[in-house]
Amino acid sequence: MNSKNLLIVFVKNPVKGKAKTRLAATIGPEAALEVYKELISITERETSAVQNCDLHVYFSSECDDTLWSGKNQFIQSGNDLGEKMFDAFHNGFEVGYKRIVGVGSDLPDLSAEVISEGLELLKSNDAVFGPSDDGGYYLIGISKPTPCIFENKQWSTEGLLAETLHELKNKNLSVGLLEVLNDVDTIEDLRASSLATKFAEFT
């Protein structure tokens, strides 16, 4: 442990037919995989550029030395997204990290700057979120174990962030919010994203 700060990246292994299935339903599994590989590349570049922070990468099925080479790699553990995130954050606090931020791997506009801002907000807040237009969040950070965030939630629903913020308010926990960014799950998301030109042939 070289820092009090930890960045956790949650990555679905890039396998044709298993990556970006909602997008694949429209543009096909091979094209969807190409889009996802580009999203992973952006995520790897930006997360690796964050300063004063250790990095743990949690893969969905197996570690992959071709990605985040030399970084600490783990396998996600849990039955749903909440359990998987709880396990990764719990492991981070167990070994002594004080501020932990987690992000996914499907954000075309993810930047080292926004991740760093999330870590900075944790110096004065119990939790931080990066909201997305669909009612969820692309980034979550906490400065102490907060199991309720990961329990009894309807993941991937439009009320997720609002429900979580309401719960934290009731517990008198302070929250910082970052700018809104959107991930790419559907053809509409791809068309509206900064990747639209690069993948114009698919849209």
pLDDT tens-digit series, residues 94-118: 999 999 999 999 999 999 999 999 9
Mean pLDDT, range 110-130, rounded to an integer: 98
How far separated are the first and last CA of the chain, in Å rounded?
Answer: 44
Q: What would the CATH number be for the domain defined by 5-196?
A: 3.90.550.10
- Other CB atoms within 10 Å distance of the CB of residue 166: 11
DSSP state of 148: G
Q: What is the pLDDT of residue 198?
A: 94
Could you tell me the CA-to-CA distances from 161 to 36, 104, 108, 109, 152 in Å, in that order?
24, 16, 20, 20, 13
This prediction's pTM: 0.96
- pLDDT for residue 194 is more than 80: yes
Could you tell me which of 67, 27, 25 has the C-alpha nearest to residue 45?
Answer: 67
Mean pLDDT of the chain: 95
pLDDT tens-digit series, residues 7-30: 999 999 999 999 899 999 999 999
pLDDT tens-digit series, residues 28-46: 999 999 999 999 999 999 9
